[in-house]
Chains A and B, each alone.
Chain A
Amino acid sequence: MEQCVHLEFEVAGNNFAQAGLASDQVKSTLKKLGIDPQDIRRVAIAMYEGEINMVIHANGGRAYVDIFVDKICINLIDQGKGIENIELAMTPGYSTAPDDVRALGFGAGMGLPNMKKYTDVFNIESEVGKGTKVEMEIHFR
């Protein structure tokens, strides 16, 4: 398969001034590549939710993005506190976001459900105390 672009980002923990920049950069890259706006939208939603989760819940992490002709693969890897019960975390409305973060508009417990909804492949692996790996693919339609 023909690979177009590989991108990597450091996502800083608890830094809201920078949160979303990685997703925004991926979005601009896809635009330049002429990807369909509806596909770009799904990528932007899924990646932002994953990025902001690393900012809020994992004290930051790294994003690895591979863009192919027909799909994008996004891997988000952090060394944060991990997720004890992934099924529970995936439940719409479930959130452990602290009050100060809720005051900013986070904590609806819709981030992971959004990521699953807007991606074609979605996997999470997590170990408490070690970190979390989120693997997503969006296939261009």
Chain B
Amino acid sequence: MKVLDAIKKIEADIVNLSDGDREIITGYCGDFLSFVMGKAPQDCCWFTVMTNINVCAVATLADVSLVVLCEGVAPSPELVEKCKTQGVNLAKTKHDVFEAVRRYLNEV
């Protein structure tokens, strides 16, 4: 699925879109960054409630296609800025992680 299509399905708002055509091939949910780092597959959609600047470094290094901030949390200004310079796709949604994933998987 393409990043832009996923954002629509999840009912998320774009925070930073660097490459809407990038492919997502799988997903990962988690907030502890070392779990994400060690386990999030390449080209995944990462669902989290973490909003600080380190999210960008992890997304970059783990080759995440799209970060979705759930539960209506707001990204820190530093995170938004860094995602822009690093080219990380970032979106936010009011849905909780389970609900966001369910929409992503089309099980609504």
Contacts and interface: CB of A to CB of B under 8 A. Distances in A.
Interface in B22-44: 31-35, 37-38, 42
A137 interface: no
Main SS of the interface on chain B? Answer: helix
Q: Which 9 A-B pairs have the closest CB atoms?
A: A20-B57, A110-B34, A108-B32, A114-B38, A105-B33, A44-B61, A108-B34, A105-B50, A48-B61
Nearest to A20: B57
A37 interface: yes
B32 A105 contact: yes
22 contacts: A16-B52, A17-B53, A17-B82, A19-B57, A20-B60, A24-B60, A27-B61, A37-B63, A41-B63, A45-B62, A48-B58, A105-B31, A105-B33, A105-B50, A105-B54, A106-B34, A108-B35, A110-B32, A110-B38, A114-B37, A114-B38, A118-B38
B78 interface: yes
Interface string A16-28: 1101100110010
Contacts of B86: 24
Given A17-B78, A108-B32, A110-B38, A48 B50 contact: no
Nearest to A51: B57
A118 B34 CA distance: 13
Contacts of B78: 17
Given A17-B53, A20-B54, A117 B32 contact: no
B63 A104 contact: no
